[in-house]
Amino acid sequence: MTVTKPLIEPLIALRICSPSGVFHPGDLLRCEYQIDAVQPAEIQAVEVSVLWITEGKGDEDLGVHYFERTTPSDSVDGDLRQLHCLQTHLPRSPLTYNGFLVKIRWCVRVRLFWGRGKQMHVDRLFQLTSRDH
């Protein structure tokens, strides 16, 4: 009988520092993220991005507002599991849109590259709306 160990995936904690999750153009978006349940030597890279995605009829589209990639060589001790903070001022457009045929959604994404070619990501949605709302 062969016994295989269950695969335990790393944990990605991601928090948007806003009680409402609603932002306006020019607002400062602040986030915190942390990686856990994985050995430092297994982490190849961590990418964090702020992006918008279209959903609905037709081709899906994606736009990246902010992107940062870190590798163990970017850290003093090579350990990317510690708490990281992200800050960026949000653009004027596109605004969050929840139409019948097309939706525009904003999110913060943390992507982890680990092990031998494995990757996973966590998204946190937020809204970018005009000040009139």
Q: What percent of the chain has pLDDT over 70?
A: 94
7 band by pLDDT with thresholds 50, 70 and 90: low
Residue 5 pLDDT exceeds 60:
no
Give residue-wise pLDDT tens across range 64-86. Answer: 999 999 999 998 898 999 999 99
Q: Is the pLDDT of residue 120 over 90?
A: yes
**Where residue 57 falls among pLDDT bands split at 50, 70, 90?**
confident
Q: Is the pLDDT of residue 17 over 60?
A: yes
Task: Give the integer Cα–Cα distance in Å for 42 and 58.
Answer: 39
User: Mapped to the 3 state alphabet, what secondary structure does the chain carry?
Assistant: CCCCCCCCCCEEEEEECCCCCEECCCCEEEEEEEEECCCHHHEEEEEEEEEEEEEECCCCCEEEEEEEEECHHHCCCCCCCCCEEEEEECCCCCCCEECCCEEEEEEEEEEEEECCCEEEEEEEEEEECCCCC
Whether 58 shows a pLDDT value over 80: the answer reads no
Q: HSE-up of 119 (CA within 13 Å, CB side)?
A: 10
Q: What is the mean pLDDT of residues 32-56?
A: 95
Q: What is the mean pLDDT of residues 39-44?
A: 93
Q: Using a pLDDT cut of 90, give the percent of the chain over it.
A: 79
Q: Identify the bridge partners of residue 1 per DSSP, sorted by sequence position.
A: none
